[in-house]
């Protein structure tokens, strides 16, 4: 668990031995706790997952430094999200298949986000031999579930926000504070389109993985 002064965040996952034991009907061991050392979110370090957007001067023209958004599949929703009494650890991770997402601290305070690269499978279909690799969401799209080794933790400080690419897996936002406000840009029905959160241990994923629009 993240504590004041600690550079680590933790999340549990099901080990390969746990998965095999569970599938065989044997007694399962306790899920392992993994510590993630946060990486400072910069344009370079976050490039595989999205963008880090900082303040720009008034009148500056639109360019690649601005958030490159995909909001055309629904009605955009921009709001302040209040989070309170959230533990600084996670065992679930999710992605949005139809929209980019922007998250930032409303007060420019330090916060954290766990992420893994997008893994939506587009323009193809899983064959019978791929059943243990691809998964299909209830929305219909195919994806590759992330493993614990795929997850990185980023630290965000100051007046900047993160734009998550469509399909980027994420857990959080997390913070050291008891309560914190975040501005959030997504679609009006993003939270209403949650699919079932299910155990994907047999695929080597985090303990529980969810996927939604």
In a domain, 5, yes or no: no
Q: Can you give the pLDDT at residue 131?
A: 53
**Residue 180: which CATH number?**
2.60.120.480
Domain count of the fold of the chain = 1
Angle at 80 between CA 77 and CA 179, to 5 degrees: 145
In a domain, 205, yes or no: yes
In a domain, 68, yes or no: yes
Number of neighbours of residue 74 by Cβ within 10 angstroms = 15
In a domain, 23, yes or no: no
Residue 144, domain extent: 38-209
In a domain, 195, yes or no: yes
In a domain, 1, yes or no: no
Q: Can you give the pLDDT at residue 128?
A: 45
* pTM greater than 0.75 (yes/no): yes
Alpha-helical runs (H) found in the chain: 16-23
In a domain, 8, yes or no: no
Q: Mean pLDDT by 10-residue block, N- to C-terminus, for the chain (213 residues)? A: 40 40 47 83 98 95 95 95 89 89 96 94 59 73 86 95 96 93 92 45 37 47
Spatial CB neighbours of 139, under 8 Å, sequence gap ≥ 6: 97, 98, 193, 195, 211, 212, 213
């Amino acid at each position: 668990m993240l504590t004041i002064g600690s550079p680590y965040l933790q999340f549990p996952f099901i080990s390969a031995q746990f998965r095999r034991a569970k599938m065989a009907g044997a007694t399962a061991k306790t899920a392992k706790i993994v510590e993630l050392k946060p990486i400072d979110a910069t344009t370079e370090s976050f490039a595989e997952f999205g963008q880090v957007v900082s303040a720009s001067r008034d009148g500056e023209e639109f360019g690649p430094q601005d958030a490159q958004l995909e909001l055309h599949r629904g009605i955009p929703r921009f709001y302040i999200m209040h989070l309170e009494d959230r533990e600084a650890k996670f065992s679930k991770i999710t992605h949005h298949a139809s929209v980019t997402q922007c998250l930032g601290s409303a007060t420019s305070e330090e916060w954290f986000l766990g992420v893994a690269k997008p893994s939506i499978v587009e323009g193809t279909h899983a064959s019978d031999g791929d059943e243990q690799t691809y998964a299909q969401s209830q929305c219909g799209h195919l994806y590759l579930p992330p493993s614990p080794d795929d997850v990185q933790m980023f630290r965000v400080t100051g007046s900047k926000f993160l734009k998550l690419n469509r399909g980027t897996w994420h857990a959080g936002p997390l913070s050291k504070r008891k309560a914190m406000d975040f501005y959030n840009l997504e679609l009006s029905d993003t939270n209403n389109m949650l699919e079932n959160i299910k155990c994907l241990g047999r695929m080597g994923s985090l303990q529980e993985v969810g996927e939604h629009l």
